[in-house]
């Protein structure tokens, strides 16, 4: 049987319908592939990259858990990266997030400087960046949408004020510093120095970094006790984990931590309260790591184009041995 030379009107109608349907399908696919930084489509799963510094302390582990838990609660696809304490690994993670076309990036920066180039790449990709727990120094603060963090300088002042009262303004202090170049290490040192400057009888006789780690805190404290053991009358640690390491070093040296040598630190993790109940730590200044809800609130507002404050300051508290036992059951980290 011969096929007709020209298609029938019915065939033409069918072909036209197929073409229209195909074009509509392409339009839907294009609409679904939104550009990074655009408003999320209804029903679309939000994807967020989180670059964490490391897991060097109880505090940072708690922060990571808070971010992960909140992402799961909101149905957000979280891309998590632990930089293992290396800024270059954070650069790699952020570039990977950009390549994957994430909707936003949460960054806990290792140090304050060196972020200009990588954050410019995120901005060019129209991916908003939310900073958590540590600030950065950049020439253009539009490279990130907001910072959610504690006031580290105020924390240092609170520690200094407490120690001045405890020692009646007379102390020979060993200071265990955090990681060099990190905002909390810089600011907690500054705040503490400002506080004790009002007390001529208080002096820092040795100061060295323990990298916010328990093991390094113990190692540094052992060395400094060998050098200044007879003169040391107090310890100020930039975080609880280093204080816990110092406690072990003091005990190994045959002295009673918290009694022979008062100790004040920062973070208020559960282990610090346990140490206070045991009489080995005297005071801890809170630095709340449960930043997940605030971080994702900021992400969602940024995605909608809503305005955000450049910095949200978390209010912290002072806890000493007198309240340690009653507060311990309330600690979530």
Q: Mark residue 85 as left, alpha or beta (left: phi above 0; alpha: psi -120 to 50; beta: remaining).
A: left
Q: What percent of the chain clears pLDDT 90, i.e. is strictly above it?
A: 85
Residue with tokens 């999320």: 40
Q: Examine the pLDDT at 82 and tell me if it is beyond 70.
A: yes
Query: What is the strand order of the sheet 318-320 is part of?
Result: 202-209, 171-177, 234-237, 263-267, 283-286, 318-320
**Which two structure tokens, joined as six digits, stand for 326?**
């009653």
Residue with more model confidence, 19 or 231 = 231
Closest CA to 91 of 114, 68, 72, 73: 114
Q: What domains does the chain contain, in order, with CATH numbers?
A: 47-149+289-314 (3.40.50.2300), 152-288+319-330 (3.40.50.2300)
Q: Which are the contacts of 120, defined by CB distance < 8 A and separation ≥ 6?
A: 143
CB atoms within 10 A of CB 180: 10
**Predicted local confidence at residue 159, as pLDDT:** 98
CB–CB of 287/155 below 8 Å? Answer: yes
The secondary structure of 207-225 as a DSSP string is EEE-TT-HHHHHHHHHHHH
Closest CA to 239 of 302, 144, 333, 168: 333
Closest CA to 265 of 217, 313, 227, 226: 217
Closest CA to 283 of 251, 247, 258: 258
Lowest mean pLDDT among 9-23, 115-129, 143-157: 9-23
Residue with tokens 């806990």: 108
Residues 68-89: what's their mean pLDDT? 97
- Gap between the Cα atoms of 245 and 167, Å rounded: 22
For residue range 234-263, what is the model confidence (pLDDT) as tens digits? 999 999 999 999 999 999 999 999 999 999
**Predicted local confidence at residue 169, as pLDDT:** 98
CB–CB of 188/175 below 8 Å? Answer: no
Average pLDDT, the chain: 90
């Amino acid at each position: 049987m011969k096929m007709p030379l020209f298609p029938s009107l019915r065939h033409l109608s069918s072909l036209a319908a197929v073409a229209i349907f195909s074009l509509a399908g392409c339009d839907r696919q294009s609409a679904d592939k939104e550009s990074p930084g655009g408003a999320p489509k209804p029903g679309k799963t939000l994807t967020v990259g989180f670059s964490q510094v490391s897991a060097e302390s109880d505090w940072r582990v708690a922060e990571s858990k808070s971010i992960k838990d909140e992402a799961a609660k909101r149905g957000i696809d979280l891309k998590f990266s632990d930089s293992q304490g290396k800024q270059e690994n954070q650069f790699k993670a952020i570039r990977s997030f950009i390549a994957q076309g994430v909707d936003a990036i949460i960054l806990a920066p290792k140090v304050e400087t060196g972020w200009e180039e990588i954050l410019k790449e995120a901005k060019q990709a129209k991916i908003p960046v939310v900073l958590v727990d540590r600030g950065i120094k950049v020439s253009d603060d539009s490279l990130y949408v907001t910072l959610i963090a504690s006031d580290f300088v105020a924390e240092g002042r609170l520690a200094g004020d407490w120690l001045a009262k405890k020692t009646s303004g007379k102390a020979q202090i060993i200071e265990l510093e955090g990681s060099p170049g990190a905002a909390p290490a810089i600011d907690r040192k500054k705040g503490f120095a400002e506080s004790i400057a009002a007390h001529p009888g208080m002096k820092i006789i040795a100061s060295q970094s323990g990298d916010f780690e328990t093991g390094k805190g113990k190692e540094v404290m052992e060395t400094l006790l060998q050098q200044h053991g007879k003169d040391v009358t107090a310890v100020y640690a930039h975080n609880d984990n280093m204080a816990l390491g110092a406690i072990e070093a003091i005990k190994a040296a045959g002295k009673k931590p918290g009694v022979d040598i008062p100790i004040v630190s920062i973070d208020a993790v559960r282990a610090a309260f346990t140490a206070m109940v045991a009489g080995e730590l005297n005071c801890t200044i809170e630095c709340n790591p449960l930043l997940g809800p605030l971080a994702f609130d900021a992400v969602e507002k940024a995605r909608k184009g809503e305005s955000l404050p450049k910095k949200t300051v978390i209010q912290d508290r002072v806890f000493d041995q007198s309240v340690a036992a009653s507060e311990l059951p309330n600690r979530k980290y």
